[in-house]
Amino acid sequence: MEVSAPVHAPAGVILIGHSYIRSLRDFMNQHPDHLNLGFPRKDAIVQSFARGGATLRLQPDDHWINCQLQPALTSRPAPAIIVLHVGENDLSHLTDLEIADHLWSLVQYITSVCHPHVIIISQLLWFPAHEDRHAQITSVNCKLQEYVQNYCPVELPGHPTTKVELLKHKFGIWTPSRSRYFSADQVHLNEEGLRKYCLSIYSAVGHHLKQLLQA
């Protein structure tokens, strides 16, 4: 007797962040092959919650990342895979330790509210306009990696155990020639950079989506 494969509802994939996520959303909408990050909608529904200039520190308007967080965590389908990219806009206002701590507090809050399968934290990018911030950005990323390595997920009855990982982009974003991926302002990713950034996130998300679909 032939056994049918299990039928899964589409997984909720949530992208939360500042202008990099906003630009990624626009890039996906403009390129059909990258729409929905390139995943079939029967497998995943990708939604973006982004605000240009979003920060980790409290702001008097909707630039505070928490303003994006609240609608993201109550979206449907329920968030199963969350990608979080924020922090670069805080480099001039917070120390490296403060940025890492704020980000990790967001991770802890998310796990307590919606219990996703995984939270993928994007490493901070060393964009050319912040040439002098290399040590600070590297320190933030190293601290985040330390938090991820020491993370002990809490098992709650009736809820999946949330995984946390740091996404280390490997498309030459740290090389001396990295300016080729940035626009004239040397802050935002250009067309080539967005394509590489999109594929990097696609790969990270796809690894976990496969696990969900095979469960």
pLDDT of residue 2: 42
Structure tokens at 213: 């679909």
- DSSP calls for 3-39: PPPPP-PPEEEEEEESHHHHHHHHHHHH-GGGGGGG-
pLDDT at residue number 183: 95
Q: Residue 153's pLDDT is what?
A: 81
- Helical ranges in the chain per DSSP H: 19-30, 66-73, 96-113, 134-149, 191-214
Contact by Cβ (8 Å): 208, 118: yes
What domains sit in the chain, N to C, each tagged with a CATH number? 11-214 (3.40.50.1110)
pLDDT for the residue numbered 88: 96
Cα separation of 197 and 204, whole Å?
11
| Rounded average pLDDT per 10-residue block, the chain, 215 residues | 59 97 97 97 97 93 92 94 97 97 96 93 94 94 97 78 95 87 95 97 97 87
C-alpha dihedral over 57, 59, 61, 63, to 10 degrees? -30
